[in-house]
Structure 1
């Protein structure tokens, strides 16, 4: 596990919204469809069982007409604190783990999002493919959605 740092990409943000609002935006289908994709893209929730062992599956229509599928299984859920899930983003990213942590700081929420890859090489490849731009864009959309709530 000592190479964990070399296999992990992390984005930290502080959202100007209470933790319950951020949690709901991350965990409820009606909110997920508003932001879980880079700007200009639409997302469809195919399956969403928010419980340990539950499966989630989202579809994003690409400009070329192909579907981009995101799916995984929830491994750990600690209400208002953390969500850990397996994830595949076919065809670009497979067999990663998403770790999402939420921390209330007054009426704001410190949010830490990490993606753990199988190898340091795979991690580097994902970073070069645009991890920070893609997730950064989605999280910026989340920030906009939170302002409206």
Structure 2
């Protein structure tokens, strides 16, 4: 991604069983990484607009489990289980979503002049036909989730 594209602040691309979102976050890399790795922060922004999350387990290490339930505004519960496969502070977090829809997610954090370039990529293990259906809610849901991350970071940075 060149500097002109980053100037637009955010971008999203949906490919063959992959969703990639890039954001230039107005926060230092360490703070952005902390927002992803501390349950007290993560629980405030993880999930689409209007959703809340209840964490049951959060073991931040390779092989560790992150179990939680996302609660929709309509009262529907969505149990989730992720297994961390790689943690490189403050550069990268990789986890596998172990329930439907199955995917591997990578959050990469790059320092850019006091801000953070976040690249969040999910590669789905489902068939193309299933991915065609999943992407209709997964792509906008991921965008809304990262909007909520940006709002939390603005709040944390103002303290």
Fold shared by both chains (TM-score > 0.5): yes
Unaligned runs of 5+ in 1: none
Residue 79 of structure 1: aligned partner: 89
Q: What's the counterpart of residue 122 of structure 1? A: 130
Asked if 1:21 is matched to 2:28, the reply is no
Structure 1 range deviating more: 114-123 or 76-85: 114-123
Within 1, Cα distance between the matches of 2:145 and 2:113? 24
The more displaced of 33-42 and 12-21 is: 33-42
Superposition misfits of 4+ residues, deviation over 4 angstroms: none
Q: What does 1:1-149 correspond to in 2, within 5 Å?
A: 6-88=16-98, 93-118=100-125, 119-128=127-136, 130-149=137-156
Q: Distance in 2 between matches of 1:36 and 1:124?
A: 23
RMSD, aligned α-carbons:
1.5
> If the length of structure 2 is used for normalisation, what is the TM-score?
0.82
Quick check: 2:83–2:98 contact (8 Å CA) kept in 1? no
Q: Distance in 1 between matches of 2:131 and 2:107?
A: 17
Instruction: Give the distance between the partners of 1:26 and 1:116, measured in 2 at CA.
Output: 19
Any gaps of 5 or more consecutive residues in structure 2? 1-14
